[in-house]
Amino acid sequence: MRVAFLGSPEFAVPCLRALAGAHEVALVVSQPDKPAGRGGELRAPAVKLAAQELGLPVIQPRSARTGELAQALAACGAELAVVVAYGKILPPAVLAAVPRGCINVHASLLPAYRGAAPVQWAVIRGERTTGVAIMQLDEGMDTGPVYLAREVAIDPDETAGELLARLAPIGAAALLDAIAAIAAGTARAAPQDHARATMAPMLAKADGAIDFARPAVEVAARIRGVDPWPGAHALLRGQVVKLFRARAVAGSGAPGAVLAIDGDGVRVACGDGAVAIRDVQVPGRKRMAAAQLATGRGLAVGDVLAAPPREAPA
């Protein structure tokens, strides 16, 4: 089948590669290059780089609503458009630009976790399972009918970044299955139960602020769920520090108090229980094991990790 592909981040790359190996990709659409790093140099999206490696034509329209995108899709001769984490809401003209419309690879078991950050919020909220769904896009926010879904267990210590990477090839395989069914005329898209929908809004830097007054299970889940972005952070000796690799453990004390530091990390009291945080990063230094930081006296039993102000940088 001749298809067009719309996507931007690394999560979308396995889907693009799978499509290029099984179908004719007529056009790849990605977001514009964006400034990155301290120098602000322009960085190309992962999908653009993969498309160039595969020798596929790429466009990067600044808006999906000017008519440029709809015209390009109509002109490329694609029968179907595949959308994977493109990062822009598609207007009706784009959805109707190819004969079979647009299908989407979404990293949740719809109608759960509709929105921009489904994997992150699934981890933050302590879900035990998630998955990928292949759906027909409509004008709503992840509200279209679903062709198929693949369920995946969430490992207890898994970060959002690790889970997203694990879901990407599963989504690619599911995508090929869905397209095969569409091509054969056997695909059946089931409407979502909108009454059961939950939302997964885009994360902000403030979502990484850790409040140790919360129960340990919630604190550990949030630290994992905001890894790698925006990153978990708290105040230590008046400085913002980043926190990595947390799990709930036994312990009690004033919320935020450092109870122990050993090979498992720094044990910090929470509102109920404690968390063991394996790695810490202080300003101006690399991420390191908590025990290593303690050796340099950057962390000690009796220190207090406090919730930073909401405007504190991550």
**Nearest in space to 126 (alpha carbons), one of 224, 272, 205:** 224
DSSP symbol at 126: T
CATH code at 205-306: 3.10.25.10
- Total-model pTM: 0.94
Give the per-residue pLDDT at 113.
98
Give the per-residue pLDDT at 141.
94
pLDDT, tens only, 280-301? 999 989 999 999 999 888 899 9
Contacts of 167 (CB under 8 A, 6+ apart): 11, 107, 119, 130, 131, 132, 152
Give the per-residue pLDDT at 308.
85
Give the end-to-end CA distance of the chain in Å, rounded to a whole number.
45
pLDDT, tens only, 129-188? 999 999 999 999 999 999 999 999 999 999 999 999 999 999 999 999 999 999 999 999
* Residues 84, 169 contacting (CB under 8 angstroms): no
Distance (Å) of CA 140 to CA 86, 115, 180, 192: 15, 10, 25, 12
**Nearest in space to 11 (alpha carbons), one of 113, 116, 84:** 84
Distance (Å) of CA 117 to CA 87, 106, 123, 124, 195: 11, 10, 10, 11, 20
Give the per-residue pLDDT at 314.
41
* Residues 301, 260 contacting (CB under 8 angstroms): yes
Distance CA 58, CA 79 (A): 17
Q: Where are the chain's structural domains?
A: 2-196, 205-306
Q: List the chain residues with pLDDT less than 70.
A: 310-314
Distance CA 156, CA 207 (A): 21
In CATH, the architecture of 2-196 is 3-Layer(aba) Sandwich (3.40)
* Residues 275, 268 contacting (CB under 8 angstroms): yes
Both tokens of 167, joined, read 């879901």
